[in-house]
Chain A
């Protein structure tokens, strides 16, 4: 069972609308959580990173939240644009190894329609 679960698997919204993507994880001991954006045929690009003590972080129209007690995170996209169409991947890092192992979710495929 994947230790990082994302929902929904896919989402279609109209341009200008807001949306929220969810990430639940079981990774322990927790170190940090990242949200990446991956355009089709490209490598992931980091949007935000949050450590245990942070519960919200913004990057332009992207706002990520973290509840380390319930092991949940969300990524809120405001006033969506066509260029937001991509896969959004939740990545959780543990602190139980020297490498700082990363656990990847399968992503939420977001499509923004005009």
Chain B
């Protein structure tokens, strides 16, 4: 079982609210990621970070923002939630299993199921 945690696990909020999804890992991994996943669909990368003070946007455009002030913490924020943001959000972190970054193994958190009414 990976030591990566997400809170809350479930969140139901109204349109226009500001929310922050928390993600923390105790494995000392430098790389962290946020994915969005709709039912029956593939995961889409929305943000990633190589380390402290490093954040990049992923393949899927997202109105959310992230920060990486500490190695173990990678929160995701939505300034004004909308129904289109309803989805499952998965956080992951990775180590280096070999010399190539493409063989990093990603460990996933349990996810946050967000519903915006």
Instruction: Please determine whether A32 and B111 come into contact, CB atoms closer than 8 angstroms.
Output: no
Known: A32-B103, A49-B103, A109-B40. 11 other contacts (CB 8 A): A2-B42, A43-B91, A43-B109, A44-B43, A44-B108, A45-B2, A94-B102, A95-B100, A104-B42, A104-B44, A106-B40
Which 9 residue pairs spanning A and B have beta carbons closest together?
A100-B102, A43-B108, A104-B42, A31-B102, A104-B43, A100-B101, A93-B102, A95-B102, A106-B42
Which residue of chain A lies nearest to B48 when distances are taken between CB atoms in the complex? A99
Size of chain B's interface in residues, with CB distance under 8 A? Answer: 27
Contacts A99-B48, A102-B45, A106-B41 known; A46 to B110 CB distance under 8 Å?
no
Once the chains bind, are A32 and B108 in contact (CB under 8 Å)?
Answer: no
Find chain B residues with CB under 8 A from A81 CB. none
A-B pairs under 8 A by CB, number = 66
Contacts of A104 in B (CB 8 A): 42-44
- Give B contacts to A, CB under 8 Å: 2, 4, 40-45, 48, 59, 90-92, 97, 100-111, 113
Given contacts A41-B111, A43-B108, A45-B108, contact A100 B103 (CB under 8 A): yes
Does A51 touch B at the CB level, under 8 Å? yes
**Could you say which of B90, B102, B103 has the most chain A C-beta atoms within 10 Å of its C-beta?**
B102
Name 25 interchain pairs, CB-CB below 8 A, sorted by A: A4-B42, A31-B100, A31-B102, A31-B103, A34-B105, A41-B111, A41-B113, A42-B110, A43-B108, A43-B111, A44-B90, A45-B2, A46-B105, A46-B107, A49-B103, A49-B105, A95-B100, A98-B101, A99-B102, A100-B102, A100-B103, A101-B102, A102-B45, A104-B43, A107-B42
Binary per-residue interface labels of chain A (79-113) against chain B in the complex, 1 for a CB within 8 Å, 0 otherwise:
00000000001000111011111101111010000
Interface residues on A, range: 20 to 34
B94 to chain A, nearest CB (A): 9
B61 shortest CB reach to chain A, Å: 16
Q: Are A102 and B106 in contact (CB under 8 A)?
A: yes
Q: Is B102 in contact with A41, judged by CB distance below 8 angstroms? A: no
Residues of B within 8 A of A49 (CB): 97, 103, 105
